[in-house]
Amino acid sequence: MNAISSRQQDILVLARAQGRVSVEDLSARFDVSPQTIRKDLNDLCVRRLMSRVHGGAVVASGVENLAYEARRAMAQGAKRAIAEAAASIVPNRASLFINIGTTTEEVARALGDHEDMLVITNNLNVATLLYRHPKIELIMAGGPVRHADGAVIGSSAVDFVRQFRVDYAVIGASAIEEDGTLLDFDYREVQVARAIIDNARQVILVADRSKLERTAPVRIGAMAEIDTFVTDTVSSPELRNVCQRDQVELIEVGGLDDDGF
């Protein structure tokens, strides 16, 4: 499945701000035919990012996460840039946790040239990316595997993570509120994320700007528990002030489209 276009990204931003978008309004806004907009909306609905209603579409539910492949397709250029910036923070010969998320997976990909590292993860996709690297020791958490995205979750994974004390944690979040609250969809995943945060000396949060336009029902924690927040851009003055107040290093890699330009 191809990455979503920059226009489709803009449609998603509008839908999340307004709750609903119409074919007529979008056609006028983007100066394209209604047929083109209908195709855009159909593509977004196939990815489970939106749901069609009469005359337009609404954003997908805030109580259920987007499908894994849909999340992987979103903001690919920004995720790659975020991942490269995050990977550059982690030195050789470091130990780190990497948890669930399509952006954390990009960080794993960007760590391929590092040496003498210990990586502990509950993400099967991260393990698949790193297990062939001879200079990276990989440890995989055990427990039930979530079919949707290869996440290892539950009490067994929590107990496993608590055996370690590592230099860095690279974590994601499904949603970030303007007051710095970090949110996710699955309380079992959040329990693992909490254990990861509690057992790392430095915590790196990686998330693109779309996470500020979403909501989710389960609280992971607060921005005050993060050491470094790597993102493409922060448009919210309130969240920027929260980072400054809580002494969170904010790294912005700049706005990028899906092709990375």
Q: What is the pLDDT of residue 178?
A: 95
Query: Fold identical between 6-60 and 71-252?
Result: no
For domain 6-60, give the fold. Answer: Arc Repressor Mutant, subunit A (1.10.10)
d(CA 91, CA 114): 8
pLDDT at residue 257, rounded to an integer:
47
Assign 57 to helix, strand or coil: strand
Q: Considering only CA atoms, which of 74, 79, 69 is closest in space to residue 103?
A: 79
Q: Which CATH number fits domain 71-252: 3.30.2130.10, 3.40.50.1360, 3.50.50.60, 3.30.420.40?
A: 3.40.50.1360
* pLDDT for residue 97: 98
Q: Where are the domains of the chain?
A: 6-60, 71-252
One digit per residue, the tens of pLDDT, for the chain of length 261 reads 567 888 998 998 888 777 678 999 999 999 999 999 999 999 988 887 887 777 888 776 665 566 666 667 677 888 999 999 999 999 999 999 999 999 999 999 999 999 999 999 999 999 999 999 999 999 999 999 998 889 999 999 999 999 999 999 999 999 999 999 999 999 999 999 999 999 999 999 999 988 887 788 999 999 999 999 999 999 899 999 999 999 999 999 996 544 333
Residue 60's Cβ-side half-sphere holds a number of Cα atoms within 13 Å equal to: 18
What's the pLDDT at 137? 97
211 vs 177: CA distance, rounded Å? 8
Angstrom distances, CA of residue 77 to CA of 118, 178, 201, 244:
27, 24, 29, 26
